[in-house]
Amino acid sequence: MAIFQTHGAKISYELEGEGPLFVQLHGLTSSAAREQRAGLDMSRDLTGFRVLRYDARGHGSSTGRPVPEDYVWPRLAQDLLELLDHVAPGERVHAAGPSMGTATLLYAALETPSRFATLSLLVPPTAWESRAAQAKSYLSSADLVENEGIGAFVRVSRSVLPPPALAQRRHEKVPAASQELLPSLFRGAAQTDLPAQALVSQISIPTQILAWVDDHAHPVSTALALHELIPGSELSIAETPEDLETWPAKAARFIARHPLAA
């Protein structure tokens, strides 16, 4: 693992392979390693690529500060763009990420569209009309961790069933974040939202959207809205573990249709 210093955090990342660059992001309270175990790392079926994986600030092996504003999605997008400037200056890249990773990619793509050859948006989070209820849940989780500890949060989380697509996979409940930083991660998530729909509709990067059913934190409604907003985007919805298993191959085929030289 290597370290990249950005404002208020040290970002832990790994870069492997040869060829065009593919960057894999992760979701809130997760890490690069966990997404591989959950089947949300889209690099599995890629050949002839360099793969960049990193832990977002405050997650996994990366450091951070107990400052909620550090974890809003536009700030995470800046981290991504700065990391790309560090490891792949001037290169166009393919990118994929679930939930918080999807949000990070949308903000980064709007900031610097020339950076991205394709976007694979996985299990998009609550947004716009559905965001307020989720924000309240995050604030409650922040208070719970602060007042009763991370163990109390884990006990509550164990009562929530995973979506059907994850039924056969290891579903890790312990956050990949410290007890000190976790409340700020949740509060940062509570005060952020996807870009305005009018801005999202301006994205012209080839985009693939992969969603799953029966997950209140990642509703199909967001995926459908993004599909309607982003011209030419492709949408696939998983209902079973077998459907989820096809995602890396879908991502590889999608990327193959949009080479960097195009």
pLDDT tens digits, 128-169: 999 999 999 999 999 999 999 999 999 998 888 889 998 877
Count of beta carbons in the 10 Å neighbourhood of residue 174: 11
Domain housing 139? 2-256
262 belongs to a structural domain: no
CATH number at residue 200: 3.40.50.1820
Q: pLDDT tens digits for 181-192?
A: 999 999 999 999
pLDDT of residue 42: 96
Residue with tokens 């500890």: 149
Q: Which pLDDT band, with edges at 50, 70 and 90, does 210 fall under? A: very high
State the pTM of this model.
0.97
In a domain? residue 126: yes
Q: Is 261 within the bounds of a domain?
A: no
Q: Closest Cα partner for 132 from 190, 217, 72?
A: 190
- Rounded CA-CA distance 218/163 in Å is 10
Quick one: which of 197, 224, 191 has its CA closest to 74?
191
Q: Looking at residue 138, what is its pLDDT? A: 97
In a domain? residue 245: yes
From residue 208, give the alpha-carbon distance in Å to each of 66, 124, 181, 202, 230. Answer: 34, 11, 32, 15, 10
Judged against a pLDDT cut of 60, whether residue 261 lies above it is answered with no
- Number of domains within the chain: 1
- Give the model's pLDDT for residue 35: 86
Question: φ, ψ for residue 17 (rounded to 5)?
Answer: 90, -175
Phi, psi of 155 (to 5 degrees): -65, -40
Q: One-letter amino acid identity for 192?
A: T
Which two structure tokens, joined as six digits, stand for 16? 């492997």
pLDDT digits (tens, 9 = 90+) for 21-75: 999 999 999 999 888 887 789 999 999 999 999 999 999 999 999 999 999 999 9
- Asked if residues 125 and 195 have their Cβ atoms less than 8 Å apart, the reply is no
Q: Where are the beta strands (DSSP E) in the chain?
A: 2-6, 9-17, 21-24, 50-54, 93-98, 116-122, 207-212, 234-238
Cα–Cα distance for residue pair 110/204, rounded to 1 Å: 10
pLDDT of residue 38: 79
Q: Has residue 153 been placed in a domain?
A: yes
208 is a domain residue = yes
Confidence check: pLDDT of 176 > 90: yes
Is there a domain that residue 198 lies in? Answer: yes
pLDDT above 80 (res 170): no
pLDDT of amino acid 28:
97
